[in-house]
Amino acid sequence: MASLNSGGDDAAPAIWEYTSPDRYALPSDTVEQKIRSGIGALWKAFETEAAAPESPVKAKEKLEELSWTEISTIAPDPGLDAAAEALDAALASRLSPKPPENTVVFVISPPHTWRREIMAEWAQRSQWRLLDGPDTQTLLSESGEWMRDRFDGRSPWVLPHLENCYLRRARSLKNIRHLLDMLCAGVAGTGLVGCDSWAWAYLMKIWNGRHPGLLSLQAFDNERLARWFGKLAAGDGPRRRNFRQAIDGKYVLAPVGDVDEESGETPKTSSFLKHLAACSRGIPGVALALWRRALRLGPKNTDDEENDDNGPSPPGDPATVWITEWDAVPRPKLPSEKDRDLAFTAHTLLLHGGLEAEVLAEILPLSVSRVRQTLSVLRETETAAEDDGIWRITASGYPAVRQFLQSEGYLTDHF
């Protein structure tokens, strides 16, 4: 088993951490978000920041959105080595030095946590068989033969996507219940099963068996996000950019160098990451997608920048990335009017981790043309996107979709 890469200083918890679901902790809501959701406390509980200046430090019209090349440098897709090591550390007590015979561990995580990629990396490191799920035609045929081909008990295995092993149809649901019975009865041998949290919430409603131990990726609070974004921006070397709010100049990440030369103190950071952690529910992929939407550059983000409201950059200062104020971050939204078909479609996409349009029409009481109309609305609002024929809820659109489904009384996950 590999050693755990903390991804931060020794005093701080690891950025990537797997824990039991009962120890899963959502990021705390900010005061402002509690008030907006109707569960705020008394005014004395407010922890307000100083009022924003009448004139922003960096006017919006002077800021430029980043190109994808710049985003890939400042906020790239993460490497997942540390995540695989964190999973390895969490599994150590369950799977080593010698696991109990026919042990199956479930890893349950919300969408946009790179669960499949992390588990595939772990499987390669541990030399366990990586299993693929049934294809669409097999699922539509409602045959359960594919289970016998994969779970033969010969060697340890990893199935990273249980959400893709069923459809919400009578025969298919019977098959997935049978599979869960097999997995938890030890018939399938020793293995590791990954499942999306939405599919898991649904499966626990239709299956009454007893499951073994569960693991979940711990939510990223604002402190984890700060260290993670800093590491992503630094790449393989030290971080050279500062991240500051355009509205008031406050640091969003602790500044490069940590200490203000004049006061000798570490400047306080803004509440931006607290808002981001709460909005994203600590889901790293969602937080990263919204973070990218907030990033801005000045018109000439160099040391020889022309004098502006903030004056020229002192020689040797790291380049500054400006962050849009939280309320101005462009976030996808769904239409305000109620749309049952839209809710059906979005909910089904989440329950299955993504589906083809034709399969949606097979399992929803909607025509193919109506399904495509609904998907078109989701695409236009940037809450869903198609990739290689599969439609999925986007990372940036996930908060709006989850809130919409919850308000409409749909079954949601517990993360």
pLDDT for the residue numbered 98? 64
Q: What is the mean pLDDT of residues 363-391?
A: 95
Using the structure block, give the residue that is written with the tokens 């990033």. Answer: 295
pLDDT for the residue numbered 219? 97
pLDDT for the residue numbered 337? 78
pLDDT for the residue numbered 96? 63
Task: Assess whether pLDDT exceeds 90 at residue 238.
Answer: no
Angle (nearest 5°) at CA 212 between 207 and 213 = 125
pLDDT for the residue numbered 214? 93
Task: Assess whether pLDDT exceeds 80 at residue 215.
Answer: yes
Are the C-beta atoms of 13 and 82 separated by less than 8 Å?
no
Residues near 220 by beta carbon (within 8 Å), at least 6 away in sequence: 15, 27, 228, 277, 280, 282, 283, 284, 287
Query: 400: which 2 tokens?
Result: 């709006």
In one-letter notation, the amino acid at residue 222 is N
Query: 176: which 2 tokens?
Result: 């997935």
pLDDT for the residue numbered 318? 58
pLDDT for the residue numbered 2? 37
For residue 18, what are the β-bridge partners? Answer: 217
Task: Assess whether pLDDT exceeds 70 at residue 387.
Answer: yes
Between 414 and 12, whose confidence is greater?
Answer: 414
For residue 194, what are the β-bridge partners? Answer: 107
Using the structure block, give the residue that is written with the tokens 């060697």. Answer: 155
Q: Which of 28-32, 122-126, 184-188, 390-394 has the lowest mean pLDDT?
A: 28-32
| Band (45; pLDDT cuts 50, 70, 90) | very low
In sequence order, which ranges of 319-356 are alpha helices (DSSP H)?
A: 340-352
Q: Which domains does the chain have, with CATH numbers?
A: 51-77+220-328 (no CATH), 104-211 (3.40.50), 340-407 (1.10.10.10)
Are the C-beta atoms of 116 and 148 separated by less than 8 Å?
no
Q: What DSSP string runs through 91-114?
A: HHHHHSSSPPTT-EEEEEE-SSS-
Query: 81: which 2 tokens?
Result: 């080595």
Percent of the chain with pLDDT over 70: 81
| Band (54; pLDDT cuts 50, 70, 90) | low
Angle between helices 81-95 and 115-126 (to 10 degrees): 60
Task: Assess whether pLDDT exceeds 50 at residue 112.
Answer: yes
Between 357 and 319, whose confidence is greater?
Answer: 357
Most distant CA pair in the chain, distance: 71
Q: What does the pLDDT look like over 250-281, one tens digit per residue?
A: 999 999 875 555 666 677 889 999 999 999 99
By the 10 Å C-beta count (0-12 exposed, 13-18 middle, 19+ buried), 207 is classed as middle
Task: Assess whether pLDDT exceeds 50 at residue 148.
Answer: yes
pLDDT for the residue numbered 106? 95
Helix (H) or strand (E) holding 395: none
Tell me the residue ranges of DSSP E strands in 141-212. 157-159, 191-196
CA distances from 202 to 146, 236, 348 (A): 22, 41, 11
pLDDT for the residue numbered 310? 46
Tell me the residue ranges of DSSP E strands in 29-103. 64-65
Strands of the 295-297 sheet, one edge to the other: 64-65, 295-297, 320-323, 242-245
pLDDT for the residue numbered 11? 65
Between 67 and 102, whose confidence is greater?
Answer: 67
How far, in Å, CA of 396 to CA of 89, rounded?
30
Conformational region of residue 404, where left means phi above 0, alpha means psi within -120 to 50, and beta covers everything else: alpha
Task: Assess whether pLDDT exceeds 80 at residue 95.
Answer: no
How far, in Å, CA of 367 to CA of 364, rounded?
8
Task: Assess whether pLDDT exceeds 90 at residue 136.
Answer: no
Query: 296: which 2 tokens?
Result: 């801005």
Q: Which of 37-46, 88-97, 221-230 has the lowest mean pLDDT?
A: 37-46
pLDDT for the residue numbered 8? 43
Q: What does the pLDDT look like over 273-297, one tens digit per residue?
A: 999 999 999 999 999 999 999 999 8
Are the C-beta atoms of 239 and 256 separated by less than 8 Å?
yes
pLDDT for the residue numbered 315? 38
Between 54 and 305, whose confidence is greater?
Answer: 54
Characterize the bridge pairing of strands 390-393 and 18-19.
unpaired
Q: What is the mean pLDDT of residues 314-319?
A: 51
Closest Cα to residue 20, out of 117, 90, 98?
Answer: 90
Tell me the pLDDT of the chain averaged across its residues: 84
In one-letter notation, the amino acid at residue 280 is S
Q: What is the mean pLDDT of residues 64-90?
A: 94
Q: What does the pLDDT look like over 20-34, one tens digit per residue?
A: 988 999 998 754 455
Task: Assess whether pLDDT exceeds 80 at residue 175.
Answer: yes
